[in-house]
């Protein structure tokens, strides 16, 4: 009989799906690495389990302990599923700009959720970075995951996502396009693909209000680049250790409006019901189209599922209030 021992056995081996209507102007073959097929409906399941397993090996978390993490929702979900199977408590610290659905889903799988203000400096004691660190210091037998600087994040993608994309494209991939938040996906996948073929181009999708693009191009961390933005799951006001700028060939920035509009277009024109960062990645790919030639194989990674954004991106009233719908 063919079955998995538990839900964690279903993580990975997600399909590649051809994008059709939205890329009619692009001569290359464009394929989506469709990560919503993971059990927590996002790419973050991969690194969540890897980070926990590595922490267990290092003795950082003991049986019956508490996992604490600052998350935009998806990493929290992956950690929560693993915590259920492995017998840990889960505390998720989340910023208030994240969708209500993300908060409700985390509570549905037994996590304690603490909501923090978005519009504060990372060092501010109210920020979700500072709050999660403080809770880990105050909670006995707890482990603070720190997905931003925990290098098991990138390692998970080097060991699973990268090899899958290489095998699924028969090594014909020429470009990899992905939104960048913690940097684990782009750095892990990028490192694996560049080792296989150094000519593969690795493109990061950034958002306005984030520091990545300018830092990559100039080496300057410009605080004037930082301001609040609506797009969820990509961009940062810090430089996570997981972002390996050396393997990234370039960034393109996508506006909040374009990210939202293209998320809805993916649903209505491709039947791909996806999250906010997928729209950003799709629009970013279209902005890069002059880089793609006839025989190229472009893989874009779609992080998470549309069910996390029903009250926002897929809600006409919210879209109008943001000025994203005419």
Q: Which residues pair with 203 in a beta bridge?
A: 177, 250
How many CB atoms are closer than 10 A to CB 234? 26
44 in catalytic set:
yes
What is the chain's Cα-based Rg? 19
Please report the DSSP string for 61-110 in residue order.
Answer: S-TT-EEEEEESSHHHHHHHHHHHHHT-EEEEEEETTS-HHHHHHHHHTT
Cα angle 270-304-123, degrees, rounded to a multiple of 5: 140
If you search the block for the tokens 């993580």, which residue do you land on?
11
Q: Which of 44, 49, 6 is nearest to 234 (CA)?
A: 44
Q: Which of 33, 28, 31, 43 is nearest to 288 (CA)?
A: 28
Which of 4, 21, 44, 293 is an active site residue?
Answer: 44
Q: Which helix (H) or strand (E) holds 130?
A: helix 128-138
Rounded to 10 deg, the angle between the 44-57 and 74-86 helix axes is 50
Here the tokens at position 79 are: 């950690």
| Cβ-count burial 295-318 (b if 16+ within 10 Å, e if not) | ebbbbbbbbbbbbbbeebbbeeeb
Catalytic residue list: 44
């Amino acid at each position: 009989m063919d079955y998995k021992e538990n839900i964690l056995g279903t993580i990975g081996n997600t399909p590649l799906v051809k994008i059709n209507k939205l890329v009619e102007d692009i001569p290359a073959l464009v394929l989506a690495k469709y990560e919503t097929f993971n059990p927590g409906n996002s790419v973050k399941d991969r690194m969540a389990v890897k980070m926990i397993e590595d922490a267990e090996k290092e003795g950082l978390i003991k049986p019956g302990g508490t996992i604490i993490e600052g998350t935009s929702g998806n990493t929290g979900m992956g950690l929560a599923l693993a915590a259920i199977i492995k017998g840990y408590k889960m505390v998720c610290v989340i910023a208030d700009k994240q969708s209500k659905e993300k908060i409700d889903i985390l509570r549905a799988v037994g996590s304690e959720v603490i909501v923090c203000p978005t519009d504060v400096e990372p060092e501010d004691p109210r920020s979700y970075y500072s709050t999660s660190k403080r809770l880990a210091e105050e909670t006995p037998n707890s482990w603070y995951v720190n997905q931003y600087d925990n290098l098991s994040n990138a390692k998970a993608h080097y060991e699973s996502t990268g090899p899958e994309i290489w095998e699924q494209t028969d090594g014909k991939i020429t470009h990899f396009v992905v939104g960048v938040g913690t940097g684990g996906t782009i750095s892990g996948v990028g490192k694996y693909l560049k080792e296989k073929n150094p000519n593969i181009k690795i493109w990061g999708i950034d958002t306005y209000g984030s520091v990545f693009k300018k830092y990559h191009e100039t080496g300057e961390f410009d605080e004037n680049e930082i301001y609040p933005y609506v797009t969820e799951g990509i961009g940062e006001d810090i430089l996570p250790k997981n972002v390996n700028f050396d393997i990234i060939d370039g960034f393109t920035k996508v506006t909040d409006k374009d990210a939202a509009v293209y998320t809805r277009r993916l649903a209505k024109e491709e039947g791909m019901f996806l999250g906010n960062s997928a729209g950003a990645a799709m629009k970013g790919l279209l902005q890069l189209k002059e880089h793609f030639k006839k025989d190229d194989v472009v893989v874009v990674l779609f992080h998470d599922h549309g069910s996390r954004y029903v009250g926002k991106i897929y809600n006409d009233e919210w879209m109008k209030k943001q000025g994203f719908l005419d």
